[in-house]
Chain A
């Protein structure tokens, strides 16, 4: 099973600043990685798939990068509505599909 790790656990960023979230896989997942945003009491929402392709309707301030074992999600100019937990998920080696433990983004 591929283990996904995420850092930091919590990120506090001021509005308008850049936020960079990291995701690491225990072995290569090529570019078969997705990012999700989950707000309290809501289901996760797909942000990025294929490591760098934005899902339909996702603002351009969200971008993904990386391949192999190291990935990043960048929010270029943080908005108040971006306060959420962000999860990465690999779909290269399955079963099972596996998720990271999440990074919580707080607005300062």
Chain B
């Protein structure tokens, strides 16, 4: 049974860079796409981007200029960086495993990141 766990700072200052890591256990990186999805408090879901098992990445055009996703298969981890954050980036951030570029089969529990000085 695959398990995903997000980790990283809960508080980030405006204009700084948000950094999160997702640790994957119980499953392989191969044949799957690894996404980040966020949910502002009380609101809906927004896909941020993915990295494939081959290392190719794709991003939401609305965030593309500020987002980096990378992976370290030796550690079974993939990571998210969002630069120049504002209060609008305050959200619960989820990592998720996708079956190719399709639906999201498995999700982490999510981590709340607040942007505030």
Show the binding face of B for A, using Cβ within 8 Å. Answer: 35, 44-47, 49, 58-62, 94, 99, 101-110
Across-interface contacts of B58 in A (CB, < 8 A): 94-95
Query: Which residue from chain B places its CB closest to the CB of A53 in the assembled complex?
Result: B103
Measuring CB to CB, which residues of chain A are less than 8 angstroms from any residue of chain B? Answer: 1, 32, 34, 36, 42-46, 49, 55, 87, 89, 91, 94-102
Of the candidates B49, B59, B107, which one forms a contact with A44 in the assembled complex, judged by CB atoms under 8 Å apart? B107
Question: Of A32, A44, A98, which is in contact with the most chain B CB atoms at under 10 Å from its CB?
Answer: A44
Question: How distant is the Cα of A34 from the Cα of B47 in the complex, in angstroms?
Answer: 14
Q: A46 near B104 (CB under 8 angstroms)?
A: yes
- Chain B residues lying within 8 Å of A36, measured Cβ to Cβ, are 45, 104
Distance in angstroms from A75 CB to nearest chain B CB is 19
Contact B60 A87 (CB under 8 A): no
Q: B103 to A34, Cβ gap below 8 A?
A: yes
Residues of B within 8 A of A89 (CB): 45, 103-104
